[in-house]
Amino acid sequence: MEEKQISKAVINRLPRYYRYLGDLLEKDVVRISSKELSEKMKVTASQIRQDLNNFGGFGQQGYGYNVEYLHSEIGKILGLDKKYNVIILGAGNLGQALANYVDFERRGFFVKAIFDVNPRLVGTSIRGIEVLSTDILESYIRLHPVDIAAITVPKTKAPQLAADLVKWGINGIWNFAPTDLNLPNGVTVENVHLADSLMKLSYRLSGEETD
Amino acid sequence: MEEKQISKAVINRLPRYYRYLGDLLEKDVVRISSKELSEKMKVTASQIRQDLNNFGGFGQQGYGYNVEYLHSEIGKILGLDKKYNVIILGAGNLGQALANYVDFERRGFFVKAIFDVNPRLVGTSIRGIEVLSTDILESYIRLHPVDIAAITVPKTKAPQLAADLVKWGINGIWNFAPTDLNLPNGVTVENVHLADSLMKLSYRLSGEETD
């Protein structure tokens, strides 16, 4: 598929389409109209058509969308037709939660190793994935293909760790540390700031919601 | 402070301001110019001034911003001058990670109880917080003030659980289940969709980034 300029807003909505279509697939739904999809997703039908037109449409007048085809096409756009080797930095609760999340694997994200500085955790395993010492992180990365590093270490450790990871050749970072990482261009960072999310919730709970 | 119409985009940036100002406070920085703050945060100085003008400014020409004052004012806007009683549904890794996150407490979010259906977890405790049986969830909610329920249960269980929570009087939901909850107006839901975040990362890794 040819690359087109696609707005960030559309990209942000694609995973949600993918999730809904996946749910429909699980229920053996073969096709769906943009109207039905719109009612399910609480997005206007015209928004859906407009979003999907960015990728050449996929819909057919009078038929709607073929669920399996649309799911698979959006998956390709999201890069889910590829496989990603993932390592997790930090074997605390959050790192363990990520390692245990089997749905990731179904979508092509394979956790290959987990690293921790705590000697009591090193040598244990989570869902069959061994916890390795951070001491051998550099050599691991130099010897194994790693596409994504998930950072779940404390915020004081995260910036240096991220800089090291990039130096050793990693350019995909999934960052859970509550700090922004300033990394070179070309490195892709996706942040999950749990505290920011909680503050948005308290904002909306404590005052008038405005939007 | 009077309520004004504030755009969602500004609200989405406020937690980040709060986080940066908190870091400066920890380093005993007393004041900062919008130019310095702009360089740190990689946001234009004019954007910062514009954002903060929504709340009456806080800056002084030639002085910049008083870090402690601005931090505390943004905190008030975010509702962090109040205390929130939080319960966690699901004592798996993610629920435990949330219960262990002491920073939340520092910001006024107090985890009061954790609920799980698994009898092996009921009666254990996490950071001194007891894991209770989901069987007594309704009576717990009817007897204790709860502001926020964090949902970390599987996606098949989440919609019914959320509907029950709302029926029993809860109107703040922090949802980690990978599904959208369709709840009545007046209920505030903040979603953390980890899989969506991971798909955005793979999109950016697999193709040209466009924005």
Tell me what the pLDDT averaged over chain A comes to. 90
> Strand pairing of B172-175 and B148-151?
parallel
In the predicted model, is pLDDT for residue B3 greater than 60?
Answer: no
For the domain made up of A8-77, the CATH class stated in words is mainly alpha
Closest CA to B151 of B163, B160, B162: B162
Q: Are B185 and B166 a contacting pair, CB within 8 Å?
A: no
What are the tens digits of pLDDT across the range A85-141? 999 999 999 999 999 987 899 899 999 999 999 999 999 999 999 999 999 999 999
Of all residues in chain A, the percent with pLDDT exceeding 90 is 70
Q: Any residues with CB less than 8 A from the CB of B95 and at least 6 apart, and which?
A: B88, B89, B114, B116, B150, B152
Give the span between the Cα atoms of B66 and B164, in whole angstroms. Answer: 45
What are the tens digits of pLDDT across the range B102-122? 789 989 999 999 999 999 999
Domain with CATH 1.10.10.10 in chain B: 8-77
Q: Looking at the complex, does the CB of residue B188 fall below 8 Å from at least one CB of chain A? A: yes
Residue B4 has a pLDDT of 55
In the predicted model, is pLDDT for residue B95 greater than 60?
Answer: yes
Strand partners, B126: B129
pTM across the whole model:
0.91
Residue B1 has a pLDDT of 44
Under DSSP, the state recorded for A60 is: B
Tell me what the pLDDT averaged over chain B comes to. 90
Residues of B in contact with A1 (CB under 8 A): none
In the predicted model, is pLDDT for residue B80 greater than 70?
Answer: yes
Which two tokens mark A125?
């395993």
CB contact under 8 A, A197 and B206: no
Query: Can you name the CATH fold of A84-196?
Result: Rossmann fold (3.40.50)
- How many angstroms separate the CA of residue A79 from the nearest CA in chain B? 5
Residues of B in contact with A11 (CB under 8 A): 200, 203, 210-211
Q: Are A126 and A102 a contacting pair, CB within 8 Å?
A: no
Residues of A in contact with B210 (CB under 8 A): 3, 5-8, 11
SS3 content of chain A, % helix, strand, coil (to 5): 45, 20, 40
What are the tens digits of pLDDT across the range B32-66? 988 888 988 888 988 888 888 876 666 666 778 88
In the predicted model, is pLDDT for residue B134 greater than 60?
Answer: yes
CA quadruple B41, B47, B48, B53: dihedral, nearest 10: -160
Q: Looking at the complex, does the CB of residue B185 fall below 8 Å from at least one CB of chain A? A: no
Residue B5 has a pLDDT of 66
Closest residue in chain B to residue A5, using alpha carbons only:
B210
Residues of A in contact with B97 (CB under 8 A): 92-94, 97
Rounded to an integer, the average pLDDT of A48-61 is 74
> Out of A6, A101, A206, whose CB is closest to B82?
A206
Q: Any residues with CB less than 8 A from the CB of B175 and at least 6 apart, and which?
A: B150, B151, B158, B162, B181, B189, B190, B191, B192
Which two tokens mark A142?
């130099």
Of all residues in chain B, the percent with pLDDT exceeding 70 is 92
- Please report the residues numbered 28 through 67 in chain A whose beta carbons come closer than 8 angstroms to any beta carbon of chain B: 41-42
Domain with CATH 3.40.50.720 in chain B: 84-196
> Out of B94, B188, B190, whose CB is closest to A97?
B94
**For residue A57, what pLDDT band results from cuts at 50, 70 and 90?**
low
Rounded to an integer, the average pLDDT of A156-180 is 96
Residue B102 has a pLDDT of 79
Residue B129 has a pLDDT of 95
Cα radius of gyration (chain B): 20
Mean pLDDT lowest for which of A5-9, A188-192, B124-128? A5-9
**For residue A59, what pLDDT band results from cuts at 50, 70 and 90?**
low
For chain B, the three-class secondary structure string (H helix, E strand, C coil) is CCCCCCCHHHHHHHHHHHHHHHHHHHCCCCEECHHHHHHHHCCCHHHHHHHHHCCCCCCECCCEEEHHHHHHHHHHHCCCCCCEEEEEECCCHHHHHHHHCHHHHHCCEEEEEEEECCCCCCCCEECCEEEEEHHHHHHHHHHCCCCEEEECCCCCCHHHHHHHHHHCCCCEEEECCCCCCCCCCCCEEEECCHHHHHHHHHHHHHCCCCC
A103-117 b/e (C-beta count within 10 Å ≥ 16 → b): ebeebbbebbbbbbe
Residue A56 has a pLDDT of 64
Residue A209 has a pLDDT of 46
Q: Are A189 and B205 a contacting pair, CB within 8 Å?
A: no
> Out of A18, A180, A204, whose CB is closest to B199?
A18
What are the tens digits of pLDDT across the range A173-193? 999 999 999 899 999 999 999
> Out of B8, B109, B202, whose CB is closest to A79?
B202
> Out of A180, A196, A199, whose CB is closest to B80?
A199
φ/ψ bin of B197: left (φ > 0), alpha (ψ from -120 to 50), beta (otherwise): alpha
Q: Looking at the complex, does the CB of residue B85 fall below 8 Å from at least one CB of chain A? A: no
Angle at B94 between CA B12 and CA B13, to 5 degrees: 10
What are the tens digits of pLDDT across the range B149-174? 999 999 999 999 999 999 999 999 99
Tell me the angle at which helices B45-53 and B8-26 cross, rounded to the nearest 10 degrees: 110
